[in-house]
Structure formats: structure tokens, C-alpha cells
Amino acid sequence: MATEDGRLAAELATDAGRLLLTLRAARGAGRALGAEGDRSANELLIRGLRDHRPADAVLSEESADTAQRLSADRVWIIDPLDGTREYGEPPRRDWAVHVALWERGQLTAGAVALPAMNVVHGTDDPAPLVPRDGGRLRIAVSRSRPPALVEKLAVDLDAELVAMGSAGVKATAVLRGEVDAYVHAGGQYEWDSAAPVAVARAAGLFCSRIDGSPLRYNQPDPKLPDLVVCRPEVADELLAAIAPHLGPDPEPGR
């Protein structure tokens, strides 16, 4: 069902994506481009939220965190440029903009823009799941730092690992039928997964921590190191395969 917050999330993510594409076309490539993209997209999103939702709190990867959000009923959780490395390597397309709304304990709206693919996934208009072809399980994994856990799962499940960049791209790849699951262990924060999880849930995907426990947002410490996003019919098999590999410390990775 369409909501004002869902529409705003999609509009802001789209606008930030357009800015990033324009900046990339003008500046070329490299780390400096990524840093400028992070800063410019964050400024656009913060300005848009102040204009349209001035009473709401914001948690952003690119802004200083404050304790004020912990007592707020509504908190926007944003990643202005997810996949900064990929963004700085034209013509790579696997980077994203994340905009999500947390409201009294739940993610209630969100959007993931994939500007270089001309795609926006939003909670207002979730895409229908593409039917699974029944072949080998396909798991999205970081192209540069694949977690050891996922490499073990590939052996245990005879799964195919599909390398791609941004967390938002990997999570929404399940929606697009490019993979069946995205499994991550270690090294993420709430802004990495809030919008992808909001969008995935709206489309009927299964989302949890790697031990099957709920994903919780707007916590005092925004670190949220692991998650599973997958087609609902493979969730039990995937969690059962993960369980023997769980230990006290998450595997490092993206």
C-alpha cells in the first residue's frame, strides 16, 4: 500500500542517485570521487528530510550520531552512497542509495535506488518475485571480501557464489531473481541493511540475523554485523546450514 513516507523515501533516493550520476560523469573516477559522492548525497538527503520531515530524527553513515534518535518515535536511517568503491570505478553499476524509516520499533518505509541501473526498489511498489528455476542455490557475496562463512556454505550446499558490490545491490538481487539469497557476516551497520530489509520484507522475502533472530534497528550501538535476506522457501535450509558454523565472533567481511 502506498504511503507518503514510502513515496518520500523513493523520491529522495532517486534524487540522490541523479546527483551521484551527474557528479560521476563530471569527475571521472577514484577515491576522491567516492568521498565527494558520499558528502554530496548526504547533504541532499539531510536537506530533503529537514524540509519534508523536520520533526523526525536521522541516523546516517555520513553524519555524526546523536542520542536524540533513541527517544524519537520516527528515525530515518540512510546510507547516501552504498558501495563507494564501486561508485568510484566507472562503469560499475553495483552501488546504491538507501533511505529507510524506522517507526516505533519497525521499519515502515524504504527505498533502494540503483542509479546506474535506472532502478528504484521501494516498499510502496514491491516487485513480484521471479519464480525460482530450481537449479543450484545462488548466494550473493562481496566481490572483494567474501566472508569465510559464505564460502563454507557454498561447499555445504553446493551453492554458486555470485560476486557483486554494494549490500543494497546484493539484497535486492534476490528480488530481481539474480540470486536466491544474500548472507553476510561481520562489518556492517544499520544503514547498510535498513532500506534493503524494508524493501525485501515488503516483497515477501525472509530477513533475519544469521542465527535466525530478528534484525533490530535504532539501537544505541548502530553496528548490525550480520544478516540473511533470501527467498522464503530456502530460509530453513539456509539457516540450518549456517548453524554449525556459528561461533562467538562473526566472520569479517562486507
Q: Return the CATH number at 204.
A: 3.40.190.80
> Span 100-124, mean pLDDT?
97
Q: Report the chain's mean pLDDT, rounded to a whole number.
A: 92
For residue 5, is pLDDT > 60?
A: yes
For residue 214, is pLDDT > 80?
A: yes
Q: Do 152 and 179 reside in the same domain of the chain? A: yes
User: What does the DSSP assignment read for the chain?
Assistant: ---HHHHHHHHHHHHHHHHHHHHHHHH-SSHHHHHHHHHHHHHHHHHHHHHH-TTSEEEETTS---GGGGG-SEEEEEEEEE-HHHHTSTT----EEEEEEEETTEEEEEEEEEGGGTEEEESSSPPPPPPP-SSS-EEEEESS---HHHHHHHHHHTPEEEEES-HHHHHHHHHTTS-SEEEEESS-BHHHHHHHHHHHHHTT-EEE-TTSPPP--S-SS-B--EEEEE-GGGHHHHHHHHGGG--SSPPP--
Name the residue range of residue 229's domain.
138-245
Q: How much is the pTM? A: 0.93
Does 129 map to a domain? no
Q: Per-residue confidence at 1, pLDDT binned at 50, 70, 90?
A: low
In this predicted structure, what is the pLDDT of residue 60? 97
Domain boundary among 122, 157, 183: 122
Does 81 map to a domain? yes
Rounded Cα distance between 238 and 190, Å, is 22
pLDDT in tens, 172-184: 999 999 999 999 9
In this predicted structure, what is the pLDDT of residue 251? 41
**The total number of structural domains that make up the chain:** 2
Q: Do 97 and 193 reside in the same domain of the chain? A: no
Does 180 map to a domain? yes
> Span 30-59, mean pLDDT?
96
For residue 252, is pLDDT > 50?
A: no
Domain boundary among 93, 122, 151: 122
In this predicted structure, what is the pLDDT of residue 18? 98
For residue 61, is pLDDT > 70?
A: yes
> Span 29-57, mean pLDDT?
96
Q: Do 166 and 192 reside in the same domain of the chain? A: yes
In this predicted structure, what is the pLDDT of residue 250? 45
Does 177 map to a domain? yes
In this predicted structure, what is the pLDDT of residue 78? 98
User: To the nearest whole percent, how much of the chain has pLDDT over 90?
Assistant: 84
Rounded Cα distance between 158 and 184, Å, is 18
Q: Do 205 and 101 reside in the same domain of the chain? A: no
pLDDT in tens, 7-40: 999 999 999 999 999 999 998 888 899 999 999 9
In this predicted structure, what is the pLDDT of residue 248? 60
